[in-house]
Amino acid sequence: MTRKPTAGFPSRDQILEFIESSPRAAGKREIGRAFGLHGADKIALKALLKTMADEGLIEKGAAKTFHKGGGLPKVTVLKITSIDGRDLHAAPENWTHAVPPPRVRVIADKRRGALREGDRILARIEETGGGYTAHVMKKIGASSQDAMLGVLRKDASGWFLVPADKKLRHDLKITDPSDAEVGELVLAEQSGSGARSTGRVVERLGDPLAPRSFSLIAIHEKGIPHEFPDEVLDDAEKAASLDLGEREDLRALPFITIDPADARDHDDAVWAAASDDGGWKAIVAIADVSWFVRPGSNIDRAARERGNSVYFPDLVVPMLPEALSNDACSLRADADKGVLACHLDIDKHGNLKSWRFSRALIRCVENLPYETVQAAIDGAEDHALLEGVLRPLWNAWEALKTARDRRAPLDLNLPERKVALDEDGRITEIHVRAHLDAHQVIEDFMIAANVAAAKALEEMKSPLVYRVHEPPSREKLVALADFMKSLGEKFALGQVIRPAVFNQLMDRIDDPILHEQISQQVLRTQTQAYYSPDNHGHFGLALGSYAHFTSPIRRYSDLLVHRALVRAYCLGDGGLSDHEAQTMARTAEHISMTERRAMEAERATIDRYVAAYLAERTGQIVRARVTSVTRFGLFASVDEIGGDGLVPMSSLGPERFHFDEGAKTIEGLSTGTTYHMGQRLDLRLVEANPISGALRFELPDAPLPQLKARRQKPSGRPPLPKHVRKFRKKR
C-alpha cells in the first residue's frame, strides 16, 4: 500500500516554480533531490508528475525531463526559419498545439556563419519577458521529419527527386537511390540545405498514379495515423457487442437518416411532428458513441490521436474502427440502435423553447440519400414516407429556416468540388456538388441540436468544448475596405460588424463577376474556426453559444460533448471523466490541429486529382477564373473543374506591370491592361503535375520561343504526355 506524501511534499505550484527557475533541465530525480524526498514520497512524486502532465501543466522533454505545459523545454531542437542581417529566428521542430509556435531569437556566436535557413540546431532555451531566446549548442543533421516525399527521375547528370509538395519548386539531388526505380514514389532523407542539399531514398512507396496513391501521399505528407493497432481493433470488436442497457424506447417513431448516396456510416437521424400550439416537436437522434468508447480506453486514445475522420475521394481514414463506425454505432435502417436523443420544442417562429437529452433506443425506417428526399418533396417521384415523415420534417424546417433568416448568418454559398472515380480508381468526372434544400434541412436541424447541447451544458455548469468562430480582425477589415474602395464601393469600418453586414455587401452587387470577386475577398476576411473550452461565440452562424454534438462517429469534439451530457444528466456509464474535464483546453488545441491537418490533406488530394484529370488537356486552351493576384503573377482556377494554378508575371507580356496590393490588381504600365480577382480568362494549360497537384498557365498568345526556352531548362517535372509532345511539334 502506497503511503501518503509527507507534510514536506511539494505542491503543484512549487514543482512548476522549480521547473521554470531551474538553470538546467529538471527530471523526477532533480525534483526529488530539490525537495529532499525519499522512499514512498518518490513514488507519490512520480504519480503527481504524471497527473500534472495529463492535465497539461507540464510536458515531457528529452531524457525524461519536464518543462512548463505549452512552452519549450530547457534544451530542444529548433529549425532556423529566417535570417535577416545579424538576426536569426527559429521555431520548435515539434509543435502540436493549436496556437502558433513561438518565434525564438537565436543568439549568434562562432557557429553563426555555418547556420542557414532550414538548418536544425540543438539549443538551450531561456524564457525572457519578450519570449524565448536560444543559445546554440550544436548544429545537427536531418531527421526523419525532414524526409521529402516525391517521384524519382533520372537524367544524364544523375538521380533527382521531384517533390510531391507543390510549394517546393526545386528538385532534390539524390546520391543514393537504393533499389528504387525511375517514376516510383519514394521517401528521401534530406541532408544539408539550400541549393547544395542532397538526399537518399529511405522508403519505396510504389506507383504514384496507382489507385488511392494520391490519398496515401497526403496521409504520409501530413502524418495522419491511418492504421489501428491490433489491440484497438480487438477492443472495438468487444465493444461492438455490448448490451445497450436501459434506455428510453423511441422505436415507435419513424426516424430517418438523410445522407450522401455513398455514405458508409449514419450518425444522425431525425423526426418531427406538429404540436398543438402551432409549433413543432422534433428529435435529433445521434449515435451513442460514448456508450461504446469509454474514456481512457485503447479505442479512446486512438480516436483522440486522430481527432477526426479524414475523407478522400477514394478512401476514408476513420476516427473509429469499422466495427464501430460502420456497424455498432451506425444508425442503419431496420435495426435497434442506441442513441443520445436531443428532444426539441420549437415554436411557430422557429425559436427553441426547450430541450432535453436522453439515452434512447430507435429503429430507423429508412436510410435516404439527399437526392431521393428532394425528388419526393418536389413531386418528381413518389415515396411512401412523403406525407407521414418527410412533409412534417419539412414543415418544421420551414420554421427553423425563418429563425435562421432572421438571425442572418454569413451566406457565401461557395461551390464544392466532387471527384467521381470508376472501379479502378480512375477519374471519370469532376463537378460542382449541387446544394439542395434537403441539405439545408439536415444542416438546420443539426445546428439546432448543437445549440441546445451547448446551452444545456451551460445551464448545468458543465465543462464543454465550444466550436468557436471569432469576428474578423481589424487588420482584415481594413484590407476589405481598401479592396472595396478600389472597386468604387464603400465598406464602413465604424459599424458594428455582424454576418449580415457582409451579406448586405454582397447583395447590393448585381454584376456576377464583381459579386464573385467580393465573395472571395469576404471569405479571406474571416477567421478560422477552432475548438475551445472558453466561449467566444460563433460569428459565422450568428450564435452566442455553439458546440459540436451531431457527429461523434467522425469528430472527437462531439464525443466529448456527448460525455459531458451523459455526466451532467446522469445518464449512466461513459460520462466525462475528471481527467478529461481538467485537460479539456489541451484536448481542444489538439483536435483543432487535427481538423486543420485533415482539411489540408483533403484539399491537397483534390488538387492532385484535378491535375491528373487536366493532364490530358496540357497544351489546350481552358476557360479559367482569377482567384488571387500577387506580385509574382496570377492564380487561376479552371471553370467547372477547379484546381489552382499560377500564371507567372513573366508570361503576361514584355511590358512592366504594377501590382496594387489594396485593389488586388496587376496593371500594365504601357497598355493599361488590368488583371483582377474574379476575372474570366482564356489560358493555355502549360503544366498539370498530378504528383504535386500544381498547375501552370500562360496567356494563349504567349510567344512559342519562350515556351521552348523554358522546356530546355531542367524543370525537374515529369515529362509531358506523349500526345502533348506531338501537339507541340505540329505547331
Is the CA virtual torsion 427, 432, 438, 439 positive or negative? positive
Is the distance from CB of 148 to CB of 172 less than 8 angstroms?
yes
Q: What is the pTM of this model?
A: 0.76
pLDDT at 130: 58
The ranges of the chain with pLDDT < 70 are 1-7, 23, 54-56, 61-63, 68-71, 84-86, 95-101, 108-114, 117, 128-130, 141-146, 193-194, 702-731
Task: Provide the 3-class DSSP secondary structure of residue 234.
Answer: helix
Is the distance from CB of 403 to CB of 350 less than 8 angstroms?
yes
Q: What are phi and psi of 159, to 5 degrees?
A: -95, 145
pLDDT at 687: 93
Is the distance from CB of 424 to CB of 317 less than 8 angstroms?
no
Type of residue at 389: V
pLDDT at 146: 59
Hunting for cell 540543438 — which residue is that? 122
Residue 404 belongs to what H/E stretch?
helix 391-407
Residue 525 belongs to what H/E stretch?
helix 512-525
- The CB-side HSE value for 522 (13 A sphere, CA atoms) comes to 24
Cβ of 414: how many Cβ atoms within 10 Å? 10
Burial class (CB in 10 A: 0-12, 13-18, 19+), 30: middle
Q: Give which of 610, 636, 611, 644 is closest to 699, Cα–Cα.
A: 636
Burial class (CB in 10 A: 0-12, 13-18, 19+), 57: buried
DSSP string, 435-464: --HHHHHHHHHHHHHHHHHHHHHHHTT---
DSSP state of 389: I
Q: How far is residue 25's CA from residue 44's CA, in Å, rounded to a whole number? A: 21
pLDDT at 85: 59
pLDDT at 712: 35
pLDDT at 714: 38
Q: How far is residue 307's CA from residue 301's CA, in Å, rounded to a whole number? A: 10
Exposure pattern of 359-382 as b/e (b: 16+ CB <10 Å)?
bbbbbbbbbbbbebbbbbbeeeee
Task: Provide the 3-class DSSP secondary structure of residue 465.
Answer: coil
* Contacting residues for 92 by C-beta, under 8 A, at least 6 apart: 72, 76, 77, 78, 79, 101, 102, 104
Burial class (CB in 10 A: 0-12, 13-18, 19+), 231: exposed
Q: Give which of 289, 236, 257 is closest to 552, Cα–Cα.
A: 289
Helix-helix angle 584-614:556-568, to 10 degrees: 150
pLDDT at 151: 92
Sequence-ordered strand ranges (E) for 332-461: 336-346, 352-363, 366-369, 417-421, 427-432
Type of residue at 65: T
Phi/psi region, residue 716 (left: phi>0; alpha: psi -120 to 50; beta: rest), is left
Residue 21 belongs to what H/E stretch?
helix 12-21
Q: How far is residue 212's CA from residue 133's CA, in Å, rounded to a whole number? A: 44
Q: Give which of 355, 333, 334, 336 is closest to 344, Cα–Cα.
A: 355
Q: How far is residue 658's CA from residue 669's CA, in Å, rounded to a whole number? A: 7
- The CB-side HSE value for 158 (13 A sphere, CA atoms) comes to 12
